[in-house]
Amino acid sequence: MTLLLPALQSPTGPAASREAVRFGALSLTYGELAAASTALAARIADAGRVAVWATPTAETVIAVVAALRAGVPAVPLNPRTGEAELAHILADSEPTAVLAGPDDAPPPALEKLRRVTVDARATSSEAPEGYGPGEAADEAPALIVYTSGTTGPPKGAVLPRRAIAASLDALEDAWGWTGDDVLVHALPLFHVHGLILGVLGPLRRGGSLRHLGKFSTEGVARELGSGGTMLFGVPTMYHRLAEVLDASAGGAERGELAGALAGARLLVSGSAALPVHDHERIAAATGRRVIERYGMTETLMSTGIRADGVPRPGTVGPPLAGVELRLVEEDGTVLEGPEAIGEIQVRGPNLFTGYLNRPDATAAAHTADGWFRTGDVGTVDGDGYVTIVGRKATDLIKSGGYKIGAGEIENVLLGHPGVREAAVTGEADPDLGERVVAWVVAADPDSPPRAEELADHVAGQLAPHKRPRTVHFLDALPRNDLGKIMKRSLHAR
Residues contacting residue 24 through CB under 8 Å, at least 6 positions apart: 213
Task: Report the candidate in 271, 294, 18, 6 with the shortest Cα–Cα distance to residue 174.
Answer: 294
Exposed, middle or buried by CB within 10 Å (0-12, 13-18, 19+), for 192? buried
Q: How confident is the model at residue 317 (pLDDT cuts 50, 70, 90)?
A: very high
0.95 cut: is pTM over it? no
Backbone phi and psi for residue 464, each to the nearest 5 degrees, phi listed first: -55, -30
Is the model more confident about 477 or about 339? 477
Task: Report the candidate in 110, 115, 107, 106 with the shortest Cα–Cα distance to residue 93.
Answer: 110
* pLDDT of the residue at 213: 95
Extents of the domains making up the chain: 396-492
The fold for domain 396-492 equals GMP Synthetase; Chain A, domain 3 (3.30.300)
pLDDT per position as a tens digit, 47-95: 999 999 999 999 999 999 999 999 999 999 999 888 888 999 999 999 9
* Cα gap 180→441, rounded to integer Å: 41
* pLDDT of the residue at 248: 61
Pairing of strands 354-355, 156-160: antiparallel
